[in-house]
Amino acid sequence: DAKTTQPTSMDCAEGRAANLPCNHSTISGNEYVYWYRQIHSQGPQYIIHGLKNNETNEMASLIITEDRKSSTLILPHATLRDTAVYYCIVRGTLNYGQNFVFGPGTRLSVLP
């Protein structure tokens, strides 16, 4: 079972920041938080991942709370092409034998 909970859906205005929350209250110390997204009829696309520090790349920023029980993915300037299902996944460094377990994710709709 997925170890994360996310809102089912969210809307965001084009050009505004999209903030997608994720709860992972049972995360353990060696588990990373990963974010993927899936645009309709495509495979999942890697966005970003982090352990405890905030991370930023060309796609997004990841803010992880100090207790690591939740995180927020930030798309700073959402475009229509960012409309997708966003998955928050936790995976440990000691269980590489495990694959990614996908929950239902958050369906983000970017509105013009």
Q: Residue 16 CA to chain centroid, in angstroms?
A: 18
What SS3 state is found at 89? strand
Of positions 27, 105, 108, 110, contacts another protein by CB under 8 A: 105
Do residues 94 and 72 lie in contact, with contact meaning Cβ atoms separated by under 8 Å?
no
- Residue 14 or 109 with smaller CB distance to another protein: 109
In this structure, how many other beta carbons lie within 10 angstroms of the beta carbon of residue 79?
13
Of positions 22, 35, 68, 87, contacts another protein by CB under 8 A: 87
Q: Name the one residue in this structure whose structure tokens are 């377990």.
A: 101
In this structure, how many other beta carbons lie within 10 angstroms of the beta carbon of residue 1?
5
Judged by CB under 8 A, does residue 9 bind another protein?
no
x/- mask, another protein, residues 15-54, rule CB under 8 A, reads ---------------------x-x--xxxxxx--------
- Residue 46 or 77 with smaller CB distance to another protein: 46
Report residue 86 as tokens. Answer: 């966003």
Which residues 47-86 are close enough to bind another protein by CB under 8 A?
Answer: none
- Residue 35 or 36 with smaller CB distance to another protein: 36
